[in-house]
């Protein structure tokens, strides 16, 4: 297995710069693994494509207003910090630009929604910097919601980069498979006997980075915090016990459930950290059905989908998606992988 096995050609014009409106009007490619067949639908068709009793599991994390713009008070030079995760109320791990300016002990000043916010560079490693801020702040409102770098032309409502069921702002990026749901669609799913439960994986920016090593097994994921509430654990356990399908909305849900099962032997209430990487050859034991978006070439997200549905089949589907003009990445269209 080589990282280059997961590359594909994607015309730039297929990288979605605007979200579908309404959300559930996005196209939905349906893959049936046993038949190795491909169908073309819209996301609003989901209730008819799933079965009564299926359990929908979503990731209810919310994207932080994580991008902070500031300057060095001594020179006036511009700096930028992207919040990754808190170590305490005032100490945060961040991605920092320009990296050469992150000198330990250097004083910085950021402009935020609540006014100026000072910080000191406390430490740094190869990828991130630790900043000690002058006082606590609300990560939901402090800065700007960061869109992925491949979205360059969107100037609309930042709420379109949040799922409608999102709760606490703890993530640096959205669990994008969930962006397609509307309140009406969730009501239709419920009316069709398809219940919903929620887990939380706090998405870090490293999740979306392409793999840079030749062997993806050598790629190291950043740790991300996961929470499985008691209600979600009981819902999943009940579905598995009764032979009902578990439908993961997004790769983050797959990683959360599979991590907990690997750690505990079954899905139980859990809070901790995961660096789980799922590659072709690995077995997905909890999730039966996957809802996901179209992912970057050579990314661990694409590799997870290939592990779930078969590399040749998934890459064939991606070539079909390009031919049919599907829209890719965070604001793009979706895929439903059925048994």
How would you write the pLDDT of the chain (339 residues) with one tens digit per residue? Answer: 999 999 999 999 999 999 999 999 999 999 999 999 999 999 999 999 999 999 999 999 999 999 999 999 888 899 999 999 999 999 999 999 999 899 999 999 999 988 999 999 999 987 899 999 999 999 999 999 999 989 998 989 999 999 999 999 999 999 999 999 999 999 999 999 999 999 999 998 776 677 889 999 998 888 899 999 999 999 999 999 999 999 999 999 999 999 999 999 999 999 999 999 999 999 999 999 999 999 999 999 999 999 999 999 999 999 999 999 999 999 999 999 999
For β-strands 55-59 and 67-71, DSSP reports them as: unpaired
| Burial class, 139, CB count within 10 angstroms (exposed 0-12 / middle 13-18 / buried 19+) | buried
For the chain, domain boundaries: 3-63+153-338, 67-133
Residue entry with tokens 């305490």: 88
Task: For residues 44 and 26, give the distance between their C-alpha atoms in angstroms, rounded to a whole number.
Answer: 8
Cα–Cα separations (whole angstroms), residue 178 to 43, 268, 307, 339? 11, 23, 21, 20
Architecture of the domain whose range is 3-63+153-338: 3-Layer(aba) Sandwich (3.40)
H or E segment and range at residue 292 = strand 289-293
Determine the length of the chain: 339
Contacts of 316 (CB under 8 A, 6+ apart): none
The confidence score (pLDDT) of residue 125 equals: 86
Output helix, strand, coil percentages for the chain, rounded to the nearest 5: 30, 30, 40
The confidence score (pLDDT) of residue 211 equals: 85
CA-nearest of 275, 248, 279 to 259 is: 275
User: Topology of domain 67-133, per CATH?
Assistant: Thrombin, subunit H (2.40.10)
H or E segment and range at residue 197 = strand 196-201
pTM of the model: 0.94
């Amino acid at each position: 297995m080589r990282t280059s096995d997961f590359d594909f050609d994607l015309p730039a014009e297929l990288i979605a710069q605007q979200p579908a409106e309404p959300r559930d009007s996005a196209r939905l490619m349906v893959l049936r693994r046993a038949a190795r067949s491909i169908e073309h639908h819209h996301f609003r068709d989901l209730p008819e494509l799933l079965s009564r009793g299926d359990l929908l599991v979503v990731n209810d994390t919310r994207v932080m207003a994580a991008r902070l713009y500031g300057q060095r008070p001594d020179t006036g030079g511009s700096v930028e910090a992207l919040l990754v995760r808190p170590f305490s109320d005032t100490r945060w791990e961040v991605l920092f630009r320009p990296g050469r300016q992150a000198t330990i002990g250097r004083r910085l000043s950021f402009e935020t929604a609540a006014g100026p916010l000072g910080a000191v560079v406390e430490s740094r490693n190869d990828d991130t910097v630790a900043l000690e801020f002058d006082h606590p702040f609300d990560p939901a409102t402090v800065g700007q919601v960061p869109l992925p770098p491949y979205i360059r032309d969107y100037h609309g409502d930042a709420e379109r980069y949040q799922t409608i069921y999102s709760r606490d702002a703890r993530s640096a990026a959205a669990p994008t498979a969930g962006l397609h749901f509307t309140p009406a669609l969730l009501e239709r799913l419920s009316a069709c006997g398809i219940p919903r439960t929620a887990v939380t994986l706090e998405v870090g920016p490293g999740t979306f980075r392409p793999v840079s090593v030749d062997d993806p097994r050598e790629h190291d994921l950043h740790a991300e915090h996961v929470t499985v509430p008691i209600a979600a654990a009981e819902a999943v356990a009940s579905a598995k016990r009764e032979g009902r399908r578990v439908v993961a909305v997004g790769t983050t849900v797959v990683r959360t459930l599979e991590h907990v099962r690997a750690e505990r032997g079954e899905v139980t209430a859990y809070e901790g950290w995961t660096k789980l990487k799922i590659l072709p050859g690995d077995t997905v034991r909890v999730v039966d059905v996957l809802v996901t978006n179209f992912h970057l070439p050579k990314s661990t997200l694409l590799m997870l989908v290939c592990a779930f549905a078969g590399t040749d089949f998934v890459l064939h589907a991606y070539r079909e998606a390009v031919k049919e003009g599907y829209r890719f990445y965070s604001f793009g269209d979706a895929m439903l992988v059925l048994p």
